[in-house]
């Protein structure tokens, strides 16, 4: 049942970003066409985006594993059209960060104590953000500067 729900969510995102045309001629096409009646059409803003941008946005919405897939796919210009490959290269280093307060809470949960007990300072603005994690600057008691790599929420799912 879980896999059916996951497939349904993926289908809804593909339809919302008007990516069903990329699957024309595949066995999935019939199911996506059926789903069109149940999924709101893309906004004018989304619909006006080039197909590569729509694919990148959909992969980002679907989560870290899909972003990683997009990163890998961007290197396979023998498999995908140049416009899509070029857009997917943006996933290499331009993944939107998650909220810094969420990062703080995740660190506290992992350490089992308030962040101020582990660090003199923890910057909630990330230094870098990627598909699996992001990096935050922090200062240990005693003044040593460190970076803390925080996995994206729900990455283990």
**What HEC string does 17-38 produce?**
CCCHHHHCCCCCHHHHHHHCCC
**Same-domain pairing of 82 and 6:** yes
Domain boundary among 43, 71, 93: 93
**Same-domain pairing of 70 and 134:** no
Helices and strands of the chain, counted as H and E runs: 9, 4
Calculate the alpha carbon distances from 80 to 49, 55, 88, 126 in Å: 18, 12, 10, 32
pTM (two decimals): 0.66
**Same-domain pairing of 61 and 81:** yes
Quote the pLDDT of residue 35: 67
| DSSP state, residue 26 | S
In a domain, 110, yes or no: yes
Q: Are strands 128-129 and 133-139 parallel, antiparallel or unpaired?
A: antiparallel
**Same-domain pairing of 106 and 85:** no
In a domain, 62, yes or no: yes
Domain of residue 76, residue span:
2-93
Quote the pLDDT of residue 16: 84
Contact 46, 18 (CB under 8 A): yes
**Number of domain units in the chain:** 2
**Same-domain pairing of 22 and 87:** yes
Mapped onto helix, strand or coil, the DSSP state of residue 131 is coil
Question: Could you tell me how many residues make up the chain?
Answer: 157
**Same-domain pairing of 87 and 137:** no
**Same-domain pairing of 44 and 106:** no
Quote the pLDDT of residue 36: 67
Q: How far apart are the first and last CA of the chain?
A: 16
In a domain, 156, yes or no: no
**Same-domain pairing of 47 and 15:** yes
Per-residue pLDDT of the chain (157 residues; tens, 9 = 90+): 788 788 888 888 888 888 877 766 777 667 766 666 666 666 778 878 899 999 999 999 998 889 989 999 999 999 999 999 999 999 887 778 899 999 999 999 999 999 999 999 999 999 988 878 899 999 999 999 999 999 988 776 5
Domain boundary among 70, 93, 116: 93
Q: Are strands 128-129 and 121-122 parallel, antiparallel or unpaired?
A: unpaired
Q: Which two tokens stand for residue 70?
A: 């997009």
């Amino acid at each position: 049942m879980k896999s059916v729900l996951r497939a349904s969510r993926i289908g809804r995102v593909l339809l919302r970003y008007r990516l069903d045309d990329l699957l024309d001629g595949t066995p999935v096409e019939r199911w996506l066409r059926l789903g069109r009646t149940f999924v709101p059409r893309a906004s004018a803003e989304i619909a006006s985006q080039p197909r590569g941008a729509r694919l990148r946005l959909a992969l980002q919405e679907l989560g870290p594993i899909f972003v990683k897939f997009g990163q890998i796919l961007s290197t396979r210009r023998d498999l995908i059209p140049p416009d899509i490959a070029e857009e997917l290269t943006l996933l290499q280093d331009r993944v939107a960060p998650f909220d810094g307060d969420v990062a703080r809470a995740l660190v506290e949960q992992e350490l089992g104590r308030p962040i101020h007990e582990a660090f003199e300072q923890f910057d909630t603005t990330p230094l870098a953000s990627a598909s699996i994690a992001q990096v935050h600057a922090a200062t240990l008691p005693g003044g040593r500067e460190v970076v803390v790599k925080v996995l994206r929420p729900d990455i283990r799912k």
